[in-house]
Structure 1
Amino acid sequence: MYALAAYLLFMAAALLPFWLASYKKSTLLADSEYRDPGSNHINALRGLAALLVALHHSVFAYNYYHQGSWSLSEGNHFFSTENDYPLILLASFGYVPVMLFFMITGYLFGNHGIKNNGINIPLFYYKRFARIVPQYLFVLVAVLFVSFAMGLKPSTTLTEILRFIVSWLTFGFVEPVSFTPVYRGSLIVAGVIWTLAYEWMFYLAFPAIIAFICLFRNKVACLAVAIITIAAVCKLGVINEKNATLALCFGFGILAALLHEYYPELKRVLVNKLFVLFAIASVVIMVWGLKYKAYSIYSAPMLFPLFISVASGASLLGLLKFMPLRLAGTASYSIYLLHGVVYACIFTWTHLSFIPGVIISLLITASVSMLTYRWVERPFIKQSKKAVYAFTPANAKE
């Protein structure tokens, strides 16, 4: 009960700024409204996923800055050691949302590519750059300032600072270095940038993936065979399980888009309450069965029913209709990148204990994420949308 009360308290703190913002007309509120219920619910799911990642990293961050160990158990005094389920649940708050993020990516891009029978490659990469890079650079500047404030290593040189900057500019392809003894590598951002490397790998591969799928008449069968092949190759030991699992997440996202395109009548079944309950039960069984094993090839297919149900318009028994979650979804990228930096500041510069420290951190993260979405992310998103208009055939002749 203690763990459940803590989770609910933390989630309430994270949602409070978005709840307040939902009562005021703003660009964030306007950008969080979609005509399609599936899009609204996917956006809310993305917000829930980002907040769960931030919640997941709360114990890790506190243990790291107070005990020197990035773990759930070392120095952990917040959950009963007699029953490890709270820790299992908290661990799942990390990997399940990441898998959902990748399914969402696969679904959104797959949907666009299928409807247009391919993609405009230069425009695709321009939009990806505009969406990912500006906020990432903002966070990099924040990391620089916080690192200087924490105190540099005695032997820090200009060369080491430049090495620090270059390593962070690889977007997770190279583990970032640190020039302060307070944290190692990318832990100042809770280690989340490794996922950006997988996102970029998917972006690089996507034009070829969608072109390959479009070669086949039965695109659903083609992708199903590809998914089975990835799982089989993994079981043979050719690729490691983590890489296979994340590839499956992108694949299942595209599969959801294909099923919606070619079998739209399925949506009525997928939003049915019985199917939603089945999908939720599948996730619960997955979390309990896998326990601390984060990425398993069995987890992606067990998570897929929940995802495709939401993409079809299911609200998960009304949860995803909650407007603050939609707003959090719009600002989810900022939440994802910023929460680790906020934890670092709060747990390093204050003497707050775990619960008040996490509450303050989540309040700050949510509030700042709305500002960075408005002033950092949105201008570039808007600019990329103008580029889409400029590239349309109607305007190409002008």
Structure 2
Amino acid sequence: MLMANFSSIFIFLSFYASCFALNKLRVLPHINSETSRIGYIDGLRGVAATLVVCAHSWRISYSESFERKWFYDSLNFDHRLGAVGVQLFFCITGYLFITKLLNNKNQKWDKFFIARFKRLAPAYFFTVTILIFVTFFKSSSFGLSDVVSSIKLYAFGLLGTDLSVPGFNGTELFSVLWSLPYEWKFYFMMPAVAACLHARWTTIMAVISAVFSVLIVLYLDGSSFGALFVAGALAAYLDRRIQLNNLLLRYAIFFASLALLVYVTSLDLNNYGIGRLSVASLFFISVIVTKPKILCDSSLRFMGEISYSVYLLHILCYFFFANLFDIYLSTTTLPAYALAYSLFTCIVCSLSFKYIEHPFIKKSITAIHSGVKA
């Protein structure tokens, strides 16, 4: 029982150790040479992705080596960690793209959307193709409607997120898909946001910005996720106006907000209710204001670089790992199994980034990247 309560700790530490080793092997040599990256954002992105993996750690029970009950004992806490990860991703997206708009008044929107598509589509299409293949291979039968549903998945979830066929529910292998439409809807709003930010009259800008803040919350399917993008935008605004030089004060603010986030995460609250959203937003703003060096750790930055692939592929990796290697690890302990899975996933996602994502990333765009990247 006690071991189940630490499943997320095993996963997180295993991911960190795996990325530490892969970084030392210079699997992605460009990471330590790029100077225009925002180090603490990369590190935070890596932490967020790993928290999402922790939320799905019960899927280690795809393996027959461990009782499913071990993981269900900590399921609620793991899900809360995953919610924090998603919330941070949305905040990161809002921060990075509003910062980009503030720094560039002459954004070419055709190039913007083409660049977004090139950045996000290759790894996404790769993941969806594997998902469809696995789903139809495992199904007992499927028809034309199932084929149509599978094709709709290529629209980043905007046309639907379900892929269930007789005998197998492929949706379980891609349960993060629900979050992707929110990212794209935010991108579609960017031209309107830019018009607000660059209005000539301060009063008009203030009114339009206030209206936009309300609309973005209401437009995103009636949910409150839009508030996270707004929090990211607020962080971008504060980042240009607040500079903390007192190191002690910076760390006091950062660790206080981190302690608050951990405490609220431990409470039995709605994962995406206003309480959790507010605390996650506050924590993110504190990261932007304090710029903690701890998040610039090279292993965390490595985790951040492969975070999009991790976000997309980690559940499929659970599935393949359990089916391919379970027979060899049937007598191992949970921590060893978690380490083996984490290393497997980090290797797969590093290769995905290197050979699928990176070739489509424009070399001239290095400072600004998407926060969920999905």
Structure 1 and Structure 2 fold alike (TM over 0.5): yes
Aligned residue identity for 2:49? A
**What secondary structure is seen at the aligned counterpart in 2 of 1:30?**
coil
Report the Cα distance in structure 2 between the residues aligned to 1:287 and 1:180, rounded to whole angstroms: 37
The answer for unaligned runs of 5 or more in structure 1 is 67-73, 81-85, 389-398
Q: With the length of structure 1 as denominator, give the TM-score of the two structures.
A: 0.78
Q: Map Cα deviations across residues 320-361 of structure 1 (whole Å, 9 max, x no partner).
A: 132111001011000000011111223456466793654433
**Equivalent residue runs for 1:99-110 within 5 Å:** 99-110=87-98
Q: Map Cα deviations across residues 142-194 of structure 1 (whole Å, 9 max, x no partner).
A: 22332354x2323x24x24531431211211212323462324x2112x1111
Q: 1:12 to 1:278 in 2, by over 3 A?
A: closer
Counterpart position of 2:371: none
Report the Cα distance in structure 1 between the residues aligned to 2:188 and 2:39, rounded to whole angstroms: 27
Counterpart position of 2:23: 22
2:230 to 240, 251, 262: 251
- The size of the alignment, in residue pairs, is 357
Counterpart position of 1:332: 307
**Equivalent residue runs for 1:1-398 within 5 Å:** 2-3=3-4, 5-26=6-27, 28-31=28-31, 34-35=34-35, 39-59=38-58, 61-62=59-60, 76-78=69-71, 86-117=74-105, 119-149=107-137, 151-154=138-141, 156-157=142-143, 159-160=144-145, 162-173=147-158, 174-179=160-165, 181-184=167-170, 186-189=171-174, 191-215=175-199, 217=202, 225=210, 229=214, 239=218, 243-261=222-240, 263-265=241-243, 272-289=250-267, 291-315=268-292, 319-348=294-323, 350=326, 355=334, 358-382=338-362, 385=365
Q: 1:267 to 1:285 in 2, by over 3 A?
A: farther
**What secondary structure is seen at the aligned counterpart in 2 of 1:265?**
coil
Q: 1:242 to 1:160 in 2, by over 3 A?
A: closer
**What secondary structure is seen at the aligned counterpart in 1 of 2:272?**
coil
Q: With the length of structure 2 as denominator, give the TM-score of the two structures.
A: 0.82
Q: 1:33 to 1:283 in 2, by over 3 A?
A: farther
Report the Cα distance in structure 2 between the residues aligned to 1:148 and 1:177, rounded to whole angstroms: 10
**What secondary structure is seen at the aligned counterpart in 1 of 2:25?**
coil
Report the Cα distance in structure 2 between the residues aligned to 1:271 and 1:2, rounded to whole angstroms: 37
Report the Cα distance in structure 1 between the residues aligned to 2:259 and 2:20, rounded to whole angstroms: 29
Q: Map Cα deviations across residues 250-280 of structure 1 (whole Å, 9 max, x no partner).
A: 011011111122x143576896122112211
Q: 1:305 to 1:65 in 2, by over 3 A?
A: same
Contact 2:96/2:236 (CA < 8 Å) preserved in 1? Answer: yes
Q: Map Cα deviations across residues 298-326 of structure 1 (whole Å, 9 max, x no partner).
A: 323322232123223532xx541321110
Q: 1:193 to 1:276 in 2, by over 3 A?
A: same
Contact 2:228/2:277 (CA < 8 Å) preserved in 1? Answer: yes
Aligned residue identity for 1:77? W
Q: 1:221 to 1:18 in 2, by over 3 A?
A: same
Identity, % of aligned positions:
26
Contact 2:49/2:311 (CA < 8 Å) preserved in 1? Answer: yes
Report the Cα distance in structure 1 between the residues aligned to 2:289 and 2:134, rounded to whole angstroms: 42
Give the Å deviation of 1:22: 1.8
Q: 1:300 to 1:292 in 2, by over 3 A?
A: closer
